[in-house]
Amino acid sequence: MPVLALPRSLEAPVTVLPRLYAAEAKRLARLGIETVRDLLLTLPYDWETYGAPAQVAGLDDGKQATVVGTVTSISAKQSLRRRIKLTEATIRDDEGAPLRLVWFNQPYIAKNLHKGDRIAVAGTVKSARYGGALQMQNPHYERLEDREDVKPVRVGGLMPKYHLVEGLSSRKIARWVETALPLADRIEDVIPAQVRERNHLIEVAEAIRRGHKPEADQDFADARRRMAFAELFELQAAFALMRASIAAEPATPIPYRQEVIDAFKAGLAFELTTAQRRATWEVFKDMAQTVPMNRLLNGDVGSGKTAVAAAAAAMAHASGMQSVVMAPTEILARQHLHRFRAYLEASFPGLTVELLVSGQPAPERRRVRAAAASGHCALVVGTHALIEEDVELANLGLAIVDEQHRFGTRQRELLRAKGRGRPHFLAMTATPIPRTLALALYGEMSVSVLDEMPPGRTPVTTEVVDPDQRSRAYEIVRREVAAGRQAFVICPLIEESETLAARSATAEAERLRKEVFPEFRLDLVHGRLKEKDDVMRRFVAGEIQVLVATAVVEVGVDVPNATVMMIEGADRFGLAQLHQFRGRVGRGSAQSYCLLLAEDPSDAALERLELVARIHDGFRLAREDMERRGIGELMGPRQHGLTDAAMESLRTPALLDEARAEVQRLVADDPTLDGFPALKAAAARRLEQTSLS
């Protein structure tokens, strides 16, 4: 298609591209690709190297190769034993040597290709099991004109590997990119020329061309580095603008009072750790300023974040200011209610803590709203119900959000807006985050780290259980439950899958209920279950003895009586996630157990699990996860909002440091970035796209 027929706007939907239909546009949208701009800026994550066309006689078993030949036979059939649909073909190269081709579950290929067609194929060469011609299974193919001088365009050489969903192929995406590529020159470069020169970066149009159609490995590396820098640069610019916006709207200072912290510590049944005292002092110093506090409290499971937040609420109350605590689930909100009441109400007469959640009776909600609006309630703990329009606070001075990553920018801003001025803001997360990742994803916030556990906590005994030793794991569950305690059984899937061998929660719950633990009260919870809050409430109350669950219980569940965490398909979870599961037990005085059962008995899988058994420091495990699986895997794609290239660059933080330094240099001369409109617009888009901004 000629360039003139291409859309004039980069913001045009991808459906303007030829042979890209509505169904495919929906699939692309699941990958974050909705416009022509999105398509061009989404580079392949890797490349397959097949080389220039080669003769069949020179091919080696197990090697990737490209072959050009003529189809001598092709047919669709079905295997007798497994009833798999096959398309089988044979081609002969220019020297007459045969190559057998097999495609599984792609019967349409027999209609697309015909005897006599000249085609190029690229794939991995395999020796035939019982002699005969070499073969390729599921090769890429491209029909060519019937002339020897015509070379393949889309098959062979370097072939891109894009992230996919069902119904898409890298070949399809590459074809659409090929059509849109002439528009690359229209994309504005968000990185100023002087920044590119200082950091040896290529221009954006050149990065797009080299990233999608490299001629050598270095081309692809240069493109990925440039794109990664741009993403981190945009994000740090967005953070700089957010910090400036926050600073422009002053908060009411909350001065430090020694008598408040003395009374708070006197009311505790334990001594604050050194890390808690350090974090509390950092919070107090921020709250004493007119610039609103914007701080992240990053601590491992059980490190005592709630005590730090309660001390901050006590200081706010002493200045006549109210506080709110927003949690992602009603179960977690109720747990916070009990904790904050225990920490505060006895030590500070007149300080009342109330709960506001959607599950309350209407009269109770009206009572709490009235107390908050009149100022008679010092601290309101709740869920999303806190940000509803009919909720008002008389004098909000401190907003606290637990599990920060569960809430988007708009929700947090609605919470902040409940105050007459801008309240001080404290976010908490129980997912230990390595420093580099915290700078990249929470760069607008100051970070306090609780890297010390309170004394007296009994370490959870963690054990990797071989698949054939499952009965021993069941015996541990049976022994603990019979002694009056409770157990979790975690499954990686909700429902059974034909393509994955992992145990599903629904099927496993039914099997355990009937065959393994018929004598115990067992129930199931997962993210799609409407009654999950009720199930969790009954488990917390001790009415359920064994809870089968998915990752929905990863954070925010405090059941001191639970002493066993049994994780099926443990090799399917990341190290940091396994550590979060382990943190659900070991919260009482009794010895607790974490049992890791692997579906994959390979040495590599078991070695990963042994790390969890050996290392109890969540920050160390998070760093191991980052190194082994990548930062994107550690956070999850919906949380981090960055491409593979940007996330992977954080393994070696030099690129992030360079991007931060360059943004600081620009902001020092132009605080609003008005002189860099492309960068300012990109920063605004970045804040809209990422839930962590």
pLDDT, tens digit, 9 for 90 and up, residues 617-661: 888 888 787 776 555 444 443 344 567 777 777 766 788 889 999
Selected residue with higher pLDDT from 414 and 581: 581
Tens digits of residue pLDDT in 661-687: 999 999 999 999 999 999 999 988 877
Q: For strand 64-78 and strand 157-161, is the pairing parallel, antiparallel, or unpaired?
A: unpaired
Q: Which amino acid is at 203?
A: E
Rounded Cα–Cα distance for residues 392 and 373 (Å): 5
Closest CA to 576 of 529, 633, 523, 528: 633
Counting every residue, how long is the chain? 693
* Tokens 């020297």 found at: 95
Tens digits of residue pLDDT in 338-351: 999 999 999 999 89
SS3 489: strand
Return the ∠ at Cα 185 (arms to 193 and 649), rounded to 5°. 60
pLDDT at position 6 over 90:
no
Rounded percentage of the chain residues whose pLDDT exceeds 90: 53
**CB neighbour list of residue 621: distance below 8 Å, 6 or more residues apart:** 432, 575, 576, 578, 579, 611, 612, 615
What topology is assigned to 1-45+169-184 in CATH? DNA polymerase; domain 1 (1.10.150)
DSSP state of 146: S
**CB neighbour list of residue 305: distance below 8 Å, 6 or more residues apart:** 297, 299, 402, 428, 430, 450
Provide the pLDDT for residue 82: 60
pLDDT at position 317 over 80:
yes
What topology is assigned to 461-615 in CATH? Rossmann fold (3.40.50)
Rounded Cα–Cα distance for residues 656 and 677 (Å): 22
Q: Which amino acid is at 586?
A: G
CATH 2.40.50.140 for the 47-161 domain, yes or no: yes
Q: Which amino acid is at 223?
A: A
* Tokens 């993403």 found at: 231
Q: Which amino acid is at 14?
A: V
Q: Are 597 and 471 in contact (CB under 8 A)?
A: no
Q: Are 486 and 563 in contact (CB under 8 A)?
A: yes
Rounded percentage of the chain residues whose pLDDT exceeds 70: 90
Provide the pLDDT for residue 129: 61
Provide the pLDDT for residue 498: 43
* Tokens 């491209």 found at: 142
Question: Is residue 145 very low, low, confident or very high in pLDDT (cuts 50, 70, 90)?
Answer: confident
Residue 52 burial by CB count (10 A; 0-12/13-18/19+): exposed, middle or buried?
exposed
Are 47-161 and 461-615 the same fold in CATH?
no
Burial 321-350 (b: 16+ CB within 10 A, else e): bbbbbbbbbbbbbbbbbebbbbbbbebbee
CATH 3.40.50.300 for the 258-288+303-429 domain, yes or no: yes
Tens digits of residue pLDDT in 269-307: 889 999 999 999 999 999 999 999 999 998 887 889 999
pLDDT at position 395 over 50:
yes
Residues pairing with 104 in the sheet: 86
The order of strands in the sheet holding 562-567 is: 461-465, 593-597, 562-567, 486-490, 546-549, 522-525
Q: Are 123 and 136 in contact (CB under 8 A)?
A: yes
Lowest pLDDT segment from 238-242, 248-252, 624-628: 624-628
For residue 647, what are the CA distances in angstroms to 497, 576, 652, 653?
Answer: 30, 17, 10, 10
Rama region for 673: left / alpha / beta (φ>0; ψ in -120 to 50; rest): left
Rounded Cα–Cα distance for residues 202 and 199 (Å): 9
Angle between helices 204-212 and 217-248 (to 10 degrees): 130
Provide the pLDDT for residue 469: 86
Q: Where in the chain are the domains?
A: 1-45+169-184, 47-161, 258-288+303-429, 461-615
- Count CB atoms within 10 A of the CB of residue 176: 20
DSSP state of 523: E
CA 274 remoteness from chain centre: 31
Residue 238 burial by CB count (10 A; 0-12/13-18/19+): exposed, middle or buried?
buried
Rounded Cα–Cα distance for residues 560 and 540 (Å): 9
Burial 538-569 (b: 16+ CB within 10 A, else e): bbbeeebbbbbbbbbbbbbbbbebbbbbbbbb
Mean per-residue pLDDT of the chain: 87
Residue 164 burial by CB count (10 A; 0-12/13-18/19+): exposed, middle or buried?
middle
pLDDT at position 106 over 80:
yes
Provide the pLDDT for residue 634: 44
> Radius of gyration (Cα) for the chain, nearest Å?
29
- What the block records as the tokens of 480 is 């603990």
Average pLDDT over every residue of 91-103? 93
Provide the pLDDT for residue 513: 94
Q: Which amino acid is at 509?
A: A
Rounded Cα–Cα distance for residues 347 and 398 (Å): 19
What is the Cβ-side half-sphere exposure of residue 213, based on CA atoms within 13 angstroms? 18
